[in-house]
Every structure is written in structure tokens, then in C-alpha cells.
Structure 1
Amino acid sequence: MSRETIQIQIPDGAIGQRLDAILSQQLPDYSRNRIQQWIKDGRVTIDGTVCKKPRQALLGGEKAEIDAVLEDSTQVEAQQISLNIVYEDDAIMIINKPVGLVVHPGAGNPDGTLMNALLFHNPALREVPRAGIVHRLDKDTSGLMVVAKTVGAQTHLVEQLQRHAVERIYDAVVVGNLNQGGTIDKPIGRSPSDRKKMAVRAAGGKPAVTHYRVLEHFRAHTRIRVKLETGRTHQIRVHMSNLGYPLVGDPVYGKRFRIPKRMDPEFVEYLRHFHRQALHAGALSLTHPVSGKVMKWKAPMPDDMLELVDILREDIELFHEQQLGYDEYDYDNGVEVEWVTDDDIPDY
């Protein structure tokens, strides 16, 4: 835990304004939530008197002193774990997270996480809350994440995430013939029947918006690209499952295993043993917290998803060679395929 004493002269023009609002203006490197917590914890004095009310009105001209406390990661062990660093400067890092890497230590995963790896790569991240991690990916979701290297950068990135100003685009493969793109605008909350799962909840859920577009059709599956407007836990997995098109391999939100008729047995086995959600965070765009420049990164799908797509393409070829009609599908709406490549597909 690091501590710093900050002294501020309240502007004379702050008469009648809230304490937390003025401190947020004077301390742009710290989030308003963090400042409010310092006030509630009694770490802020006004002219020598402790103030615990964030809403307290100011007179202007007072002297404020803040005993700023930042939680660090001293309880988390630094571990030498390989990181795929796509980009790094003094303020941020962009990581391409592999499948199987947990982001934070927790129950069942006390170490071997991204946080352990970050602390080994850069011990100074102990001074940044959560070692600079500002958002997460599920253990078995691969792809791009941004990590803040300073408290100021973290505050700016969190603010961008709250404004939905960080663009995150995913590649996914779903079960079923999804013929057109669309938007899912349904609130998500904790499942009332299973507290380990999330669910679409009309009452008590938080707003969640997912945009998706179709990239490629297969006999009984569809490759899609997804853009998040919000970032709820398991959002894509929950929304697509609720729509009736769960992600291939999703062990939590997937439905009954289904395959098209007369699929090659080797292909069936590959699909049967694809034991992780076919989801990859392939594109990330944000405003750099220091330069103000909009920056974008892309990461290709990992080998397992590339192989999945190849198998589904080969299945169509074999299906045509056998001269089977589309009426043999397990699904009702088989579609003739017009091949496209990633190079032909514009970003959102």
C-alpha cells in the first residue's frame, strides 16, 4: 500500500460546490469514486477539520489535505509467465491474452494469472491498483487487453470504459444458421437459479448492448464479428445464447451438442472436444491517456479457432462432393455460401 499527502488550495470560485466535485477537478489523475472513498474514510481535511461527506458544500479559499492511499498488489506474487506484448510505452501495455490464462487471482486460481505475470514483467505495477488491469477477459477467451502502467493512465482508461469510448471487437463462431446481423439490447444480471452464471434479466439486470454481423455461413454454424457497446460479465456468451445461437464450445451457456448430417467423424470429434467458447478479442481501439491520440490494434484468431473455421469450411466442400441437398440439414435455413476473407471485411 502506498500513501501520499496531497495539499490543495480550494479555488475562491468554488463557493457552493461539492467537495468531491472540486477535488476531482483539482486531481484529474484520480477517479471521482476513489476520491469519494478517501473522503468517506476520513482521509480528507478542510482547514484542519476532517470531512467525511462528499456532498459537503465549500465556501471557496479553504485548504484541503488528502491522505491519499492507493492499494497495491503486495499480496500477489510476481511469477515468470510469458506475455505476448503487442505494444508498450510509458503509460500503457497491450497484451494478447492466450486461452487458459486467468486475469486475476481468486478462488481456485491463487496464482499463475495475468496479474502475476505483469508484476514480474514490471514490478512498478505494484503501485498501481490491480497492477493496472482495467478490464478483463474470461479465462478461455483469447485476445487483446489494455493495461495501465500509471495511476493517471488507469483513471483515464477507466473513464473511457465507463463512457463506452473503448472499442472492442470480437470474432466468434456460433451454433446455428444466423442469417443476418443485428443488435441485442437486453439487460444482464446474476442468474436467479445459478449464482455462478449470468442471465438476461428484465428486472434487476444492468443495461447491456451487443452488436453483431455475419461474416461466414457453414452448414450448421456461423462465423460472426461482435462489437460491444457495454462490458457486462459474459455479455457476448449470454446474449448469443439467449438469442438461440450459443458460442461453439461454451461449457456454461452452450446448449445440446448438434452437428449437421453426414459430417465426417473426425470433424465431429473436433467439435465435440472444442471445450472452450469460440471467442477472440481481435480488435481494440482507445484514446491514449497521455498523447490523446486514437490508437488501434488487431490480433488474428488463435490456432484452435482457425482450425475450427477450416474444418467447417471443409465440411461444406465434402457435403457438396456427396451431392447432398440443403434439405438434409439439421437446421431449417441453410444458405448458399459466398466465400469471403478477412481482408474483404471492413471493421465496424
Structure 2
Amino acid sequence: MTQQLLSAQIPHDAMGQRLDVALAPLFSDYSRNRIQQWIKDGNVTLDGVICKKPRHAVLGGEKVELLAELENATEVEAQAISIDVLHEDDAVLVINKPPGLVVHPGAGNPDGTLMNALLYHYPQLREVPRAGIVHRLDKDTSGLMVVAKTVPAQTHLVEQLQRHAVERIYDAVLVGIMKQGGSVDKPIGRNPNDRKKMAVRAMGGKPAVSHYRVLEHFREHTRVRVKLETGRTHQIRVHMSHLGYPLVGDPVYGSRFRIPRKMLPEFVEVLRGFDRQALHAGALSFTHPTTGKTMKWKAPMPEDMLELIDVLREDVEEFHAQQWGYDEFDYDYGVEVEWVTDEDIPD
């Protein structure tokens, strides 16, 4: 635990404000939620007197002292695991996470995680809660993540995530023929029958919104692009499964592989051998916590997803060639969408 004693004077024009509200602009490196917890823990004094009530109305002019306590990652081992860093500056890292890499240690994954790797390459991240990780991807989801290198940067990024200001766009391959794009506005919570799974829950779930558009149709599958408005656990996997189009290879929310009729054996082998959910976080955009500029990154799909899509395309051509006796079949797979803007998202 890292501790720092901070002091300031509450401005006179803050008279009547809640204590946590008055302190937020004075200690803007930290989130209001964190400040509230420090108040409840007795880490705040007003004119030398401990105040444990975030709702306490300030008079204005009081001297405030705040003992800032930050948990660090001292118990997590640094491990020499390679990281694909796409961008680095004094405040943030943007990385391209490979499939199969767990983000942080937990039950069943005590080490070998992204957090272990970050602490090896950036030892200073021990001083930042959760080693700077502000959001996560599932183990078998690939793609872009942002990591904060300082506490102020982490606070800034978390606040952006909370107000849905971080743009995250995913590519996915679904089982079934999805006719058109749209939006899913369904709350997500723990599955009452299986605590390891999430589910759409009208009662007790947290708000979750996903926007999606169709990119390509195959014989029994669809490639889509999904933009998250919220970031619930397993959100895309749960929402697409709820619509009746689970992700290819999803071991939790999917069903048995759908094999198109008369598919060549070598194509069937690739489809059955795809052993993770076909989901890639391909685009990321946020406001830089130091410069205030909007920054965007894109990451190409990994080889396994590219191979899957190529096989599904070739299967369409092969099937039509068999049906009509063509040596080659010119099939329009759809228009490649490089980036989903706000104008592209349905109302």
C-alpha cells in the first residue's frame, strides 16, 4: 500500500456542498468514488477533526488533509512475457492482446497474465492500482486495450469509460444468417443457474447496449462489426447469443458448430478446430488524459480469424461451383467497413 498525505483549503464558495463534492476538484487526480471511500475509512480531516461522512456539508475555508492510500501489485510476480505495444507515452500504453492471454491473475490463472507481463516491462506500474489496467478483454478475445501508466491517467480513463466516452469496436463471426444490423439494449447480470456465466436479465441486470452491423454473409455464418456503448462482462457474447446468433467457437454461450451441407472436409476441419470465440477488438478511441486530444488505433485481425473468414468465403465459392458447374464464382461478400462512426450507428 502506497500512502501520501495531501492538504488543501476548501474554497469559501463551496459552502453547503457535500464533502466528497467539495474535495473532488481539490484532489482531481483521484476519482470521486475513491475519495468517498477514503472519507468513510477516516482518511480525511477537517481542521484536524476526522470526518467520515461524504454527505457532510462543508462551511468553506476549512483546512482539509487527505491520506491517499493506493493498493499496489506487490504480490503479483513480474514475468518476462512479450507484449505487442502499439503506442507508448508518459501517460498510457496501447497494446494488442493476443488470444489466450488472461488479463489479470485470478482463480485458475495465478500467473502468466497480462498484469505479470506489464510489471516486468514497466516496474513502475506497481505504484498504480491494478498495474494500470482500466478495462479487460476475455482470455480468448484478441485486440486493443489501453493501460494507464500513472494514477491521474487511470482516473481520467476510468471516468471516460464510466460516461461511455471510450469507443470500442469489435469484429465477430456469428453462427447463423443475420439479416440486418441493429441495436441490443438488454441488461446483463449473473446467470442465476450458473454463476460463472452472464445472461440477459430484466431484473437485477446492469444496463448494456450494443450496436451491430452486418459486414458479410456466408452460407451458415455472418461476419459483423459491433460497437459497445457499455462494457459489461461478456457483453457481445451474451447479446449475440440472446439474439440467436452465438459467436463461432464460443465454449460458454455458443452451441454445436453449424457445418454447411456439402462443405469440403478440409474446410470442416478448420471450422471445428476454431477453439475460441471469434471476437477481435479491432478499433479503440479515447481522449488522451494529458493532451486532451482524441486518439484512435486499429489492430488487424489475428491469423486464426483471418483463416476462418477465408475458409468461409472459399466455401461459398466452392458450393456455388458445385451447384452450377462453375470453375470460379464471383461472389459479392459485402462492403468492408473500415471504421464505424456515430453516423453509422442506428438510432
The TM-score with structure 2 as length reference comes to 0.95
Structure 1 counterpart SS, 2:227: strand
Tell me what 2:89 maps to.
89
CA offset at residue 14 of structure 1?
1.4
Residues 12 and 96 of structure 1: is their aligned pair in 2 closer, same or farther, counting only changes over 3 Å?
same
1:347 to 330, 333, 340: 340
8 A Cα contact 1:217 1:337, kept in partner: no
Aligned partner letter, 1:201: R
Tell me what 1:160 maps to.
160
Aligned partner letter, 2:304: D
Written as runs of structure 1 = structure 2, the 5 A alignment for 1:9-158 is: 9-158=9-158
Residues 83 and 341 of structure 1: is their aligned pair in 2 closer, same or farther, counting only changes over 3 Å?
farther
User: Matches of 1:206 and 1:84 in 2, distance apart?
Assistant: 33
Structure 2 counterpart SS, 1:56: coil
Consecutive unaligned residues in structure 2, runs of 5 or more: 342-347
8 A Cα contact 2:167 2:284, kept in partner: yes
CA offset at residue 345 of structure 1?
4.4
Tell me what 2:226 maps to.
226
Aligned partner letter, 1:339: Y
Structure 2 counterpart SS, 1:195: strand
Tell me what 1:246 maps to.
246
Tell me what 1:187 maps to.
187
Structure 1 counterpart SS, 2:250: coil
Tell me what 1:330 maps to.
none
CA offset at residue 338 of structure 1?
2.1
User: Matches of 1:187 and 1:324 in 2, distance apart?
Assistant: 46
8 A Cα contact 2:4 2:69, kept in partner: yes
Q: What are the Cα deviations for residues 157-190 of structure 1, in whole angstroms up to 9, with x where unaligned?
A: 0000001000000000000011110000100000
Q: What are the Cα deviations for residues 91-147 of structure 1, in whole angstroms up to 9, with x where unaligned?
A: 000010000100010111011100000011111101100000000000000000000
User: Matches of 1:262 and 1:228 in 2, distance apart?
Assistant: 36
User: Matches of 2:197 and 2:269 in 1, distance apart?
Assistant: 27
CA offset at residue 339 of structure 1?
3.0
Tell me what 2:345 maps to.
none
Residues 199 and 220 of structure 1: is their aligned pair in 2 closer, same or farther, counting only changes over 3 Å?
same
Structure 1 counterpart SS, 2:195: coil
Consecutive unaligned residues in structure 1, runs of 5 or more: 326-335
User: Matches of 2:340 and 2:235 in 1, distance apart?
Assistant: 20
User: Matches of 1:188 and 1:267 in 2, distance apart?
Assistant: 35
User: Matches of 2:5 and 2:141 in 1, distance apart?
Assistant: 41
User: Matches of 2:122 and 2:284 in 1, distance apart?
Assistant: 22
8 A Cα contact 2:216 2:334, kept in partner: yes
Q: What are the Cα deviations for residues 67-106 of structure 1, in whole angstroms up to 9, with x where unaligned?
A: 1111110010111100000000000000100001000101
Written as runs of structure 1 = structure 2, the 5 A alignment for 1:282-297 is: 282-297=282-297
User: Matches of 1:48 and 1:251 in 2, distance apart?
Assistant: 57
User: Matches of 1:126 and 1:285 in 2, distance apart?
Assistant: 26
The TM-score with structure 1 as length reference comes to 0.95
192-201 vs 268-277, which moves further: 268-277
Aligned partner letter, 2:305: M
Q: What are the Cα deviations for residues 195-240 of structure 1, in whole angstroms up to 9, with x where unaligned?
A: 0000000111110000000001100000100000000000000000
Aligned partner letter, 1:157: L
Tell me what 1:200 maps to.
200
Tell me what 1:331 maps to.
none
Q: RMSD of the alignment, in Å?
A: 1.3
Amino-acid identity (%)? 74
Q: What are the Cα deviations for residues 300-337 of structure 1, in whole angstroms up to 9, with x where unaligned?
A: 00000000000001101110110169xxxxxxxxxx95
8 A Cα contact 2:3 2:70, kept in partner: yes
Aligned partner letter, 1:322: Q
Kindly tell me the number of residue pairs found equivalent between the two proteins.
Answer: 337
8 A Cα contact 2:46 2:64, kept in partner: yes
Tell me what 1:276 maps to.
276
